[in-house]
Chains A and B, each alone.
Chain A
Amino acid sequence: MSAQVLTVTSGKGGVGKTTVTANLASALAMLGKRVTAIDGDIGLRNLDVVMGLENRIVYDLVDVVEGRCRLRQAMIKDKRQAELYLIPAAQTRDKTAVSPSDMVLICDQLREEMDYIVIDSPAGIERGFRNAVAPADKVLIVTNPEVSAVRDADRIIGLIEAEEKGPGQLILNRVKPAMVSRGDMLSVEDVLDILAVELLGVIPEDERILVASNQGLPLVMHGVNGASAGEAFRNVARRLEGEDVPFLELVQKQTFMSRLKSFMGGNS
């Protein structure tokens, strides 16, 4: 079995790429998968912080690329999951220290030993984005229910289609059900209406995410019950594994209502 490479990207900054990468990698590892997370945000690394592995960094991605260590030496083993690893980004270099073909090479070396490789990418559509997308088997586009974030996601989808990596799958993050039902926030359906890609996950706004990030313990690892964003991330992992998991109730209701509305409108 050869690993599947998932690249998490968004165009717009701050929409939750790093949060998604950390939680998804953890959730997949909790399903018993062998997972390596790679921080592709060179110069602004923070996946290590969110995963709570910062103090164990000795070598990083650039050290591997420039031959200062073997790939294995740069893989930090997670304390809590048996088969979860992190390859951190370099903090003191910039994106040009790594090329898209370096990324392809590194992932190819890992493929035989892993089930999933999850790559966090920097914001933007420049070199760092291209590095992260180059080895991808599947691109996960993270966006928020916000016009500018959706616009950037649309652009990203166009770019990955041009790279023949498309169309990708969508993770809609920071949805606030109350705001959606008041009509103050784009609904899941509004976003899909523009982007027209497959929906992989809907993550509600959840302040425990911030707490979890500060603790360096991804929310999905916080015990099994009650955490709705955690639950949503676990569902994403199960969908990647091919399970048919229904979307959380809050979303279903919304989708149903808007469908009904357009039906009564007699069109589309």
Chain B
Amino acid sequence: MARQIDIKGIRDGLLIRVSDNPEFPVYERLRRELDQKREFLQGGRIAVEIGRRPMNSEQLTGLQEIFGEYDLTLWALIADDGETRETARTLGLATRLSGSATDLDGNALGKREAQPANGDAAANRPPPPANALLLRETVRSGRSVWHEGHVVVLGDVNPGAEVIATGNVVVWGRLRGLVHAGAGGDAAAVICALDLNPTQLRIADQIAVAPNDGRGAPIPEQATIRDGRIVAEPWRH
């Protein structure tokens, strides 16, 4: 089953992408997600992307109210449906992420200023809770998984995909995309993969790219911060 709510940082705050499967219980799942991430989202500006799901004025007001309850401001609604966009505008919502480097698709790779990766934010943030997200699937290009806690992927993380966690990230498969562990500033976070061949790795505020060495057979590796730099070592226990 594919993921139904994705949250990612963009220049203008946070972008929450909600599945447009008509069966998907938006309000209920959104509340659950907001409950889980309450600490982290605090006071944020939120853009919501709803795909081709049509929403009327009442439903949009409902959405605004939910965010209000969590002390969040809904400022933009990204929708495929023209009428829904119209309605959103009459409610004073932006319908595109203008001025930001984010395209309509929410892709802001490399420009994630809003991502809580800097030291200041980390200083007055509690340590990440010990909850873990298990994904039994391959994370494909264009997908962004954001989780407060640890992430375990039973599958590959493909080029063009990103996994961002405040805790550790374990990929039981091939890591070829972007992974950011310790995204809340935790420099002790680690990234493990059966085959560590990422586009880019980030731990806390450090960034590393994989050397382009025609390696032989893949071996399990673990990346950590050592002496202020990200290093990868063969897995030992």
* A and B are interacting partners: yes
Chain A contact residues, CB within 8 Å of chain B = 96, 100, 125-127, 130, 151-152, 154-155, 157-159, 161-164, 166, 194, 196, 262, 265-268
Q: Which residues from 142 to 191 on chain B have a C-beta closer than 8 Å to any C-beta of chain A? A: 142-143, 156, 158-161, 176
Contact status of A162 and B80, CB under 8 A, knowing A154-B160, A194-B159, A267-B218: no
CA of A268 to CA of B140, assembled, Å: 20
Min CB distance A221 to B, Å, is: 36
A72 to B52, CA, bound (A): 29
**What's the nearest-Cβ distance from chain A to residue B95, in Å?**
15
Q: Is A155's CB under 8 angstroms from B140's CB?
A: yes
| CB-defined contacts of B216 to chain A, threshold 8 Å | 265
Inter-chain contact A152/B141, CB cutoff 8 Å:
yes
B105 proximity list for chain A (CB < 8 A): 125
Contacts of A166 in B (CB 8 A): 2
A12 to chain B, nearest CB (A): 11
B109 shortest CB reach to chain A, Å: 12
A162:B2 contact, CB within 8 angstroms: yes
Q: Chain A residues near B80 (CB, 8 Å)? A: 126-127, 130
| Complex A-B: 28 CB contacts under 8 Å | A96-B82, A127-B52, A127-B80, A130-B52, A130-B80, A154-B140, A154-B141, A154-B158, A155-B140, A155-B141, A157-B140, A158-B140, A158-B142, A158-B161, A159-B142, A162-B2, A162-B4, A164-B2, A164-B21, A166-B2, A194-B156, A194-B176, A196-B138, A265-B217, A266-B217, A267-B218, A267-B219, A268-B217
B159 nearest CB neighbor, chain A only: A151
| Contact residues in B for A154 (Cβ distance below 8 Å) | 140-142, 158-160
- Whether the Cβ atoms of B217 and A100 lie closer than 8 Å is no
Query: Which of A100, A155, A161 is the one whose CB lies under 8 Å from B160?
Result: A155
Instruction: List the A residue with the shortest CB-CB distance to B3.
Output: A162
A266 contact set on B, CB distance < 8 A: 217
List of A residues within 8 angstroms of B143 by Cβ:
155, 158
Chain B hits for A126, CB < 8 A:
80
* CB nearest neighbor in B for A134: B52
Task: Say yes or no: is B19 at the interface (Cβ < 8 Å to chain A).
Answer: yes
Within 8 Å CB of A194, what residues of B?
156, 158-159, 176
Q: Which 7 A-B pairs have the closest CB atoms?
A: A158-B140, A267-B217, A155-B142, A162-B2, A154-B141, A155-B141, A265-B217
**Chain A residues, Cβ within 8 Å of B176:** 194
Cα-based distance from A163 to B105 in the complex (angstroms): 16
Please name the residue on chain B nearest to A265 by beta carbon.
Answer: B217
Shortest Cβ distance from A96 into B: residue: B82
Distance between Cα atoms of A97 and B12 in the complex (Å) = 32
* CB nearest to B82 among chain A residues: A96
Residue ID in chain A nearest B176 by CB atoms: A194
Q: Which residues of A contact B141 (CB under 8 A)?
A: 151-152, 154-155, 158
Give the chain A neighbours of B159 by CB distance below 8 A. Answer: 151, 154, 194
Interfacial chain A residues near B160, Cβ < 8 Å: 151, 154-155
